[in-house]
Amino acid sequence: MTDLTNEERETHFNQTADDRSIWELASNDPVWIARIERLGFAPTKTRGETRWYSVPDDFVHIRPKRQMSEAQRLATKERFAAARDRN
């Protein structure tokens, strides 16, 4: 394993227009590699520290970050607490 800094580590998500059902991921970042493999994906190719994966489109979600007010945050916290208490 090389001694790459975090600034040198990369993760790329690529999708081509001829097949929008698949994302190709390439990463040499151990954090992203662990996240992808925890989801059950095995590398399709490995070269050095870099691993490539094919991931179905429904696993990748691109969305804006939700902005929540303090009241919404508190209501969500209470809902989750109540759900935990029921179980």
Residue 1 resides in a domain = no
pLDDT digits (tens, 9 = 90+) for 24-58: 999 999 999 999 999 999 999 999 999 999 999 99
Query: Model confidence at 68, in pLDDT bands (50, 70, 90)?
Result: confident
Q: Is residue 54 part of a domain?
A: yes
Q: Which residue has the higher pLDDT, 85 or 27?
A: 27
How far apart CA 86 and CA 60 sit, in angstroms, is 32
User: Long-range contacts made by residues 1-5, C-beta under 8 angstroms, separation at least 24?
Assistant: 1/49, 2/48, 2/49, 4/28, 4/49
Per the structure, the complete domain to which residue 56 belongs is given by 11-86
The reported pLDDT for the residue numbered 16 is: 96
Sign of CA dihedral 65, 57, 44, 18: negative
- Asked whether residue 4 is assigned to any structural domain, the reply reads no
Domain count for the chain, please give it: 1
Residue 6 lies in a domain: no
The pLDDT tens digits of the residues spanning 10-33 come to 999 999 999 999 999 999 999 999
Domain assignment of residue 74, yes or no: yes
